[in-house]
């Protein structure tokens, strides 16, 4: 997460909003192609109670093959994407970025092998090292006047570095692919997860697609930086934890314990800090964004504030998503997405002609509608008590909202000043007030005790 945050800050000061907008136009389709490349196979391998050498090998070859196919299809679709955005520069960007699909296809199952063996330190170290190398190359390119090409080569270099490190660290080689060996159910489960992920992609990327097509690269650049800043702070934490949480919940289940209880405890441990962080970001954004990213990014401030609310809701949805994975409910996850994602997409489509800020609010509204449906669906298809997750989540959201409102009233006279004192005061106030409001209730005090116990265990 730290490297991603440094990347957002450093490259934002070296490049223009238009540079980021151009690459973001391609990233929409890269994300889709990457989902097709994986198509739920990594998730199926992670949630499997047992995975034989031959099953893992079959998944490896399937992932690599899908990666190659996805890269070829994306390159073939380049003329259509260029026409959609009316942006001829994409004709060179797309083939270059498509290389990451081929590389990631070979790397995905190596990462699964490390996760299933609980090699979390190696996973974290490889992700960190690859991000640092990718960022270093991008910064050098940007300083030498490469413009948007610095952003193009960054993921390619990072993906190759990650493959190299994990290939050495995994000490695993795939066998030749063979039919049977119990692989069919893994592919079925993967296909169900993949279809659910595709629906999630439509809800998560239609905003960028419509902004780029209707409002152009510069507007998309502002939106993309706002989204990346909030998502980096949260996704940098949740992405690696997903690879850790599901195997740990499986271990919990095999030990005869209720994974739902463990997941409920995780909810505040994750949602509490994330919401505090988003309150800090939203409150201090008028000063923080120009100070850190540069004055040219001031138009992104209201977008950051809107999307920060979305990340508070998003983290709660991720918790219940882990429940679906841990219980092996890939089909139910697909059904849930079939209901909620069209709603989220429709909201963004309606908002797109009205402006970029309306699109941001529509995206957040889609998250807010989907989360309670998510919990209700999980409750009906498993032994998870969705009401407990809902009450706990609403308590965190209410505390975060109250914290933001009170501090905004107290500090609004300083909001226009681009001062580090304002940023530090707002950040410290957010932490202290959130903790105080949480401690005002018995359930909140119990949550804070759990947080302190986790912190002590890490010493």
Give the model confidence (pLDDT) of 335-344 as tens digits: 888 888 899 9
C-alpha to C-alpha distance for 242 and 405, rounded to whole angstroms: 32
Across the chain, mean pLDDT equals 84
Of the pLDDT bands very low, low, confident and very high (cuts 50, 70, 90), residue 270 is confident
C-alpha to C-alpha distance for 187 and 114, rounded to whole angstroms: 20
C-alpha to C-alpha distance for 230 and 202, rounded to whole angstroms: 19
Q: What is the DSSP letter of 179?
A: S
Give per-residue burial for 359-381: e unless 16+ CB within 10 Å, then b. bbbbbbbbbbebbbebbebbbeb
Is position 390 within any domain? Answer: yes
Answer with the residue of higher pLDDT: 204 or 363: 363
The two three-digit tokens of residue 412, written as one number: 């609004």
Range 434-445 average pLDDT: 89
Of the pLDDT bands very low, low, confident and very high (cuts 50, 70, 90), residue 218 is very high
For residue 65, what pLDDT is reported?
Answer: 83
Q: Please say which residue of 151, 182, 213 terminates a domain.
A: 182
> Residues 297, 373: one domain?
yes
Is position 199 within any domain? Answer: no
For the chain, the domain total comes to 2
Is position 326 within any domain? Answer: yes
Is position 406 within any domain? Answer: yes
> Residues 164, 213: one domain?
no
Q: Please say which residue of 133, 148, 182 terminates a domain.
A: 182
Name the least confident of 119-133, 252-266, 320-334, 390-404: 252-266
For residue 191, what pLDDT is reported?
Answer: 65
Is position 168 within any domain? Answer: yes
Q: Are 422 and 284 in contact (CB under 8 A)?
A: yes
**Is pLDDT at 310 greater than 80 in this prediction?**
yes
Q: Are 34 and 98 in contact (CB under 8 A)?
A: no
Q: Are 318 and 238 in contact (CB under 8 A)?
A: yes
Give CA separation, 444 vs 125, 321, 408, 437, in Å: 34, 23, 23, 8
**Is pLDDT at 458 greater than 50 in this prediction?**
no
> Residues 46, 163: one domain?
yes
> Residues 256, 383: one domain?
yes
Is position 188 within any domain? Answer: no
448: Cβ–Cβ under 8 A, 6 or more apart, which residues?
435, 438, 439
For residue 379, what pLDDT is reported?
Answer: 87
C-alpha to C-alpha distance for 345 and 351, rounded to whole angstroms: 10
> Residues 61, 176: one domain?
yes
> Residues 291, 154: one domain?
no
Phi/psi at 385 (nearest 5 deg)? -95, 95
Tell me which residue of 148, 254, 271, 195 sits closest to 43, measured CA to CA: 195
The two three-digit tokens of residue 142, written as one number: 């940007």
Is position 195 within any domain? Answer: no
> Residues 29, 142: one domain?
yes
For residue 194, what pLDDT is reported?
Answer: 66
> Residues 290, 339: one domain?
yes
Range 17-27 average pLDDT: 92
pTM over 0.85: no
Q: Are 89 and 59 in contact (CB under 8 A)?
A: no
Is position 355 within any domain? Answer: yes
> Residues 159, 268: one domain?
no
Q: Are 92 and 75 in contact (CB under 8 A)?
A: no
Range 352-376 average pLDDT: 94
Give the model confidence (pLDDT) of 47-105 as tens digits: 666 666 777 777 778 888 888 899 999 999 999 999 999 999 999 999 999 999 888 87
Q: Using N-to-C axis directions, what is the helix angle for 53-76 and 90-116, rounded to 10°?
A: 170
Range 387-408 average pLDDT: 93
> Residues 225, 267: one domain?
yes
Range 396-405 average pLDDT: 95
Range of the domain at 148: 1-182
Of the pLDDT bands very low, low, confident and very high (cuts 50, 70, 90), residue 322 is confident
C-alpha to C-alpha distance for 1 and 235, rounded to whole angstroms: 8
> Residues 324, 357: one domain?
yes
Range 235-262 average pLDDT: 67
Name the one residue in this structure whose structure tokens are 């849930």: 336
C-alpha to C-alpha distance for 404 and 128, rounded to whole angstroms: 32
Q: Is 49 helix (H, G, I), strand (E, B) or coil?
A: coil
> Residues 144, 55: one domain?
yes
Q: Are 137 and 157 in contact (CB under 8 A)?
A: yes
């Amino acid at each position: 997460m730290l490297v991603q945050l440094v990347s957002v800050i450093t490259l934002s000061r070296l490049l223009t909003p238009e540079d980021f907008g151009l690459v973001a136009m391609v990233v929409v389709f890269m994300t889709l192609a990457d989902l097709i490349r994986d198509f739920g196979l990594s998730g199926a391998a992670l949630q499997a109670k047992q995975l034989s050498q031959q099953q893992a090998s079959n998944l490896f070859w399937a992932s690599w093959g899908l990666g190659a196919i996805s890269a070829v299809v994306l390159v073939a679709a380049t003329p259509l994407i260029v026409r959609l955005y009316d942006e001829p520069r994409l004709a060179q960007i797309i083939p270059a970025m498509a290389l990451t699909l081929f590389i990631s296809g070979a790397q995905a199952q190596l990462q699964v092998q490390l996760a299933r063996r609980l090699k979390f330190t190696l996973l974290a170290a490889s992700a960190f090292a690859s991000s640092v190398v990718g960022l270093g190359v991008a910064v050098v390119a940007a300083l030498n006047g490469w413009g948007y090409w610095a952003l193009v080569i960054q993921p390619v270099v990072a993906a190759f570095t990650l493959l190299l490190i994990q290939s050495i660290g995994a000490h695993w080689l795939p066998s030749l692919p063979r039919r049977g060996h119990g692989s069919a159910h893994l592919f079925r489960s993967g296909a169900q997860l993949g279809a659910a992920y595709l629906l999630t992609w439509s809800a998560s990327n239609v905003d960028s697609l419509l902004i780029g097509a209707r409002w152009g690269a510069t507007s998309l650049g502002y939106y993309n930086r706002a989204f990346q800043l909030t998502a980096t702070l949260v996704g940098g934490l949740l992405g690696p934890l997903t690879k850790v949480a599901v195997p740990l919940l499986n271990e919990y289940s095999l030990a005869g314990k209720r994974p739902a209880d463990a997941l409920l405890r995780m909810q505040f441990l994750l949602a509490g800090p994330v919401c505090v962080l988003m309150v800090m970001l939203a409150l201090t954004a008028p000063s923080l964004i120009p100070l850190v990213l540069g004055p040219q990014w001031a138009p992104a401030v209201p977008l950051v504030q809107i999307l920060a609310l979305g990340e508070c809701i998003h983290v709660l949805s991720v918790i219940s998503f882990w429940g679906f994975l841990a219980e092996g409910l890939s089909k139910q996850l697909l059904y849930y997405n079939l209901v909620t994602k069209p709603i989220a997409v429709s909201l963004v489509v309606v908002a797109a002609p009205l402006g970029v800020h309306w699109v941001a609010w529509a995206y957040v509204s889609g998250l807010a509608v989907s989360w309670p449906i998510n919990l209700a669906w999980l409750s009906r298809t498993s032994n998870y008590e969705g009401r407990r997750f809902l009450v706990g989540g609403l308590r965190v959201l209410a505390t975060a909202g109250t914290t933001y409102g009170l501090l905004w009233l107290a500090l609004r006279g300083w909001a226009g000043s681009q001062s580090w004192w304002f940023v530090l005061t707002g950040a410290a106030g957010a932490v202290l007030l959130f903790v105080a409001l949480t401690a005002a209730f018995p359930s909140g005090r119990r949550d804070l005790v759990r947080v302190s116990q986790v912190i002590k265990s890490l010493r």
